[in-house]
Amino acid sequence: MICDIFFASVIFLLFLSDNGVGNVDIKMLKTSRSRALDTGRPIPVYHEEDVQDVDIQPVRGLQYVVTGMEKAEEDEKHLQEILTAQVLGLQKHQEDLIIPTPEYSEIVDYDDVYKGNARKYTQYIHAVPFFHEDYPVYDLDEEDVKFIKDEINEKWKLELSHTNFEQMVSQLERNCGSSTITLNEAKLILKEDDDLILLVYEYWLKKKLRQQHNLIPLVRSEKVGCNADKRNPYVAFRRRFEKMQTRKNRKLDENNYVMMLKLRRDLSRVVTLLGFLKKRERLKKAGLELDLDVVERRVNLTDWDSRIINEIHASRKYKKLEEYARNQEVNVASEDDFSTVDSDYESADEGPFQFRRKEGVQYLAPTDWSENEDTDSFPSSCSPTDKYLWTYVPDICVSYARRRVGRGGRVILDRAPPCKRLKPGHLDNIFDNKDEKDVFENSNGERRDDILRGIVHPELEADLQFVDWDPYRWSQHDESQEVARIMAATSIVPACNSSSSEIRRHQATPPNSLWRRQRYSSGSMKTINMNKVGAHNAASALINNQFIDLFSVSSNNSDTSSTNSTS
């Protein structure tokens, strides 16, 4: 019985259409009460002639037959005629009754249009992942054929195949967004001859302006944010922006999907890193093999006293230095660009360190020190803020640097570009020449050596025995200290008290003032190797990242540093 009730509700659905009065589909049946139809109950099947009982009653309960059509269309005459005929069993008429439809015809020249036959597949056809439309989308019309023949071929005596023309127009069309591209842009896009581009471009532009629409007909798709497009019947295939309705158990799938995306991204990063590792190790191996090769050759040459190798080194050294100096030049130049107000500095892979200009902030170009700098009076005559001063911090001589106060009171030292970190007057003859590139190219090798070592004040040289104080080799000389290098002309020198995290300021010390070199045993200070990164970016990186722990110094160290700063 419960079952019956259930199915009664199913059948109830069939009652819902009540608007079909007058339709043949409706059977208003006045019969005694009958049971609801049970779809699970076997129903006997009889042939008409076997049942002669007058007791046959049409079914109560199932009153209306749902057609599933739209109400307004159910009454259409042609349909009703057929339905009536079906029910009344007017068999003869039924064959003739059709719903008339608009006409069609066959074309006679089908074989001329569709030339060529298809290849015969014996197996079921399996689609190629996607048939790439590597052919031009634009199709030549009569006007274009005429243009190519009359203008290009005859008037200008140029060659242009139909396919190439289509390719050009397709590319021009594809690159047209809301605005039409210019001739110069067209020249960048197209790979043809300039004359040809000019001709085709002008023709294309004229045609486009005349027709007022794209030359490649496309179905309009919705422009984002365009409200009129919402109802425009000519806009089709809108993207389904709304999220598909997900059931509760699908929510989990969704989260999983997001996590999988993240995992995929992370893994792809790992792959990249491993790729770099592999490359590095390979280079290392190649280096070792070269070393081995050198040693073997020296053995063969019986170079026991290193005479030959030294000779080679001597001759090669300057070349290397020259190269290095040139690179330095380039680096400096780019740094300067970066600091100027309106440069478009962009670098692809700096991630969080990427320099981004803030709105409303004015960025000043770096002080052009090279012009006002009076090397003789240097450094006493100018204020320490805009001059590159001879600077040192507890353990490292920074050479010429400019001091700034950064975020949180940190002292930021901008190093002077390498070629400027020279002993005043030492290379006067070189500095006469303003063009720095020329300086390096024209001067002889020994001078260059000086230039590149000029990082330490000459008076210190003997005393300190910083014989070859090259910032790029520092860590090799003094491995007790962990020193990374700053390739750019910027270094960050934070010093802080470990207990209070207070950051002290170092006083820049002029080179000709009295000073003593104090070597502190354990000042763990780190400069960060970040090529092309602006100082403030570096500072924020220091704060935000794991570098922060490098700030901590032992307490006695802070004492000494404070004494130092006051000296």
Partner 1 sequence: MSKMDDALSIISDGLSAVTEGCKLPVRMKNTEDWPKAEVISIRQIKGVFQYYVHYVDYNKRLDEWVTEDRLDTRKIEPPTGKEDKSHANTTVNTGLNTPKRAVTVPASGPVSRPPSPGLEESPIVTGPTVLQAALQKKTARKRKSQSSTETPDTPVPDTPTLDVSTANLNLSVNVEKKETEKSPSSAPRLTGSLAAPGTHDDAITRMKNVELIELGRHRIKPWYFSPYPQELVSLPCIYICEFCLKYVKSRTCLGRHLTKCNLKHPPGNEIYRKNSISFFEIDGRKNKIYAQNLCLLAKLFLDHKTLYYDTDPFLFYVMCETDIKGCHIVGYFSKEKESSEDYNVACILVLPPYQRKSYGKLLIEFSYELSKFEGKTGSPEKPLSDLGLLSYRSYWTYAILQVILNTKAGEDNEAPQITINDICEQTSIKKEDVISTLQSMNLINYYKGQYIICLQKDLLDKYQKEQNRRTVRIDSRSLHWTPKDWSKRSK
Interaction residues for partner 1, span 86-145 (CB under 8 A): 87, 89, 91, 98-107, 110, 113-115, 117-121, 124-131, 133, 135-136, 139-142, 145
Distances (CA, A) of 68 to 71, 80, 90: 9, 15, 24
Q: How many CB atoms lie within 10 A of CB 526?
A: 17
Q: Please state the closest distance from residue 50 (CB atom) to partner 1, in A.
A: 8
3-state secondary structure 491-511: EECCCECCCCCCECCCCCCCC
Name the residue nearer to partner 1 (CB basis): 39 or 567. 39
Quote the least distance from Cβ 267 to partner 1, whole Å: 18
Near partner 1 by CB under 8 A, which window of 44-52, 378-386, 425-433, 494-502? 44-52
On whether the CB atoms of residues 56 and 44 are closer than 8 A, the answer is no
Q: Footprint of partner 1 on residues 247-276 (CB under 8 A)? A: 250, 257
How many residues bind partner 1 (CB under 8 A)? The answer is 110
**Residue 83 burial by Cβ neighbours in a 10 Å radius (0-12, 13-18, 19+):** middle
Task: Kindly tell me which residue out of 238, 262, 264, 297 binds partner 1, with binding defined by CB under 8 A.
Answer: 238
How distant is the alpha carbon of residue 545 from its chain centre? 24
Q: Which of 30, 92, 210, 239 binds partner 1 (CB under 8 A)?
A: 239
CB of 196 to partner 1, least distance (A): 19
Is 210 a residue that touches partner 1 (CB under 8 A)?
Answer: no
Q: CB of residue 164 vs partner 1: minimum separation in angstroms?
A: 13
Q: C-beta of 270: minimal distance to partner 1 in Å?
A: 23
Minimum CB–partner distance for residue 327 and partner 1 (Å): 48
Q: How far is it, in rounded angstroms, from Cα 81 to Cα 64?
A: 18
Contact between 550 and 528 (Cβ < 8 Å): no
- Minimum Å gap between C-beta 184 and partner 1 is 28
Q: Which helix (H) or strand (E) holds 205?
A: helix 194-211
Q: Which of 217, 351, 352, 360 binds partner 1 (CB under 8 A)?
A: 217
Which residues in the 55-84 window bind partner 1 by CB under 8 A?
A: 55-60, 62, 65-73, 75-79, 82
| Cβ-based nearer residue to partner 1, 62 or 543 | 62
CA distances, 192 to each of 140, 152, 159 (Å): 18, 13, 11
Q: Exposure of 325 by Cβ count < 10 A (0-12 exposed, 13-18 middle, 19+ buried)?
A: buried
Q: At what angle do helices 162-174 and 194-211 cross, to 10 degrees?
A: 60
Task: Tell me, rounded to whole angstroms, the distance of Cα 549 from its chain centroid.
Answer: 32
Strand ranges of the sheet holding 397-405, from the earlier edge strand across to the other edge: 389-392, 397-405, 411-415, 490-492
Closest CB 202 distance from partner 1, rounded Å: 22
In the list 206, 220, 279, 326, the residue contacting partner 1 (rule: CB under 8 A) is: 220
Nearer to partner 1, 208 or 526 (CB): 208
Find out whether 565 and 507 touch, Cβ atoms under 8 Å. Answer: yes
Q: Which is nearer to partner 1, 218 or 462 (CB)?
A: 218
Cβ proximity to partner 1, 79 vs 321, nearer residue: 79
Window 300 to 359, contacts with partner 1 (CB under 8 A): none
Half-sphere exposure of 106 (CA within 13 A, CB side): 4
Closest CA to 134 of 159, 114, 163: 163
List of residues 6+ apart from 527 with CB closer than 8 A: 483, 484, 485, 486, 491, 492, 493
Residues 152-171 that bind partner 1 (CB under 8 A): 162-163, 166
Q: Report whether 369 contacts 424 (CB < 8 A).
A: no
Shortest Å distance, C-beta 214 to partner 1: 8
Closer to partner 1 at the Cβ: 244 or 514? Answer: 244
How far is Cα 563 from Cα 567, in angstroms, rounded to an integer? Answer: 6
Cβ distance to partner 1 smaller for residue 257 or 472: 257
Q: Are 308 and 295 in contact (CB under 8 A)?
A: no
In the bound state with partner 1, the residue whose beta carbon lies nearer, of 214 and 531, is 214
Of 234 and 276, CB closest to partner 1? 234
Among 16, 225, 237, 276, binds partner 1 (CB under 8 A): 237
| Shorter beta-carbon distance to partner 1: residue 250 or 278 | 250
From the list 52, 161, 184, 211, which residue makes contact with partner 1 (rule: CB under 8 A)? 211
What is the total residue count of the chain?
567
Beta bridge partners of 390: 400
CB of 217 to partner 1, least distance (A): 4
Map residues 2-41 to x or -, x wherever contact with partner 1 holds by CB under 8 A: --------xx-xx----------x-x---x--xx-x-xxx
Q: From the list 2, 16, 28, 48, which residue makes contact with partner 1 (rule: CB under 8 A)?
A: 48
Q: How far is CA 82 from the centre of its chain?
A: 63
How far is residue 289's CA from residue 114's CA, in Å, rounded to a whole number? 66
Task: Choose which of 1, 16, 209, 218 interacts with partner 1 (CB under 8 A).
Answer: 218
CB of 252 to partner 1, least distance (A): 13
Pick between residue 163 and residue 522 the one whose CB is nearest to partner 1: 163
- Residue 248 Cβ vs partner 1, minimum distance, rounded to whole Å: 14
CB of 262 to partner 1, least distance (A): 15
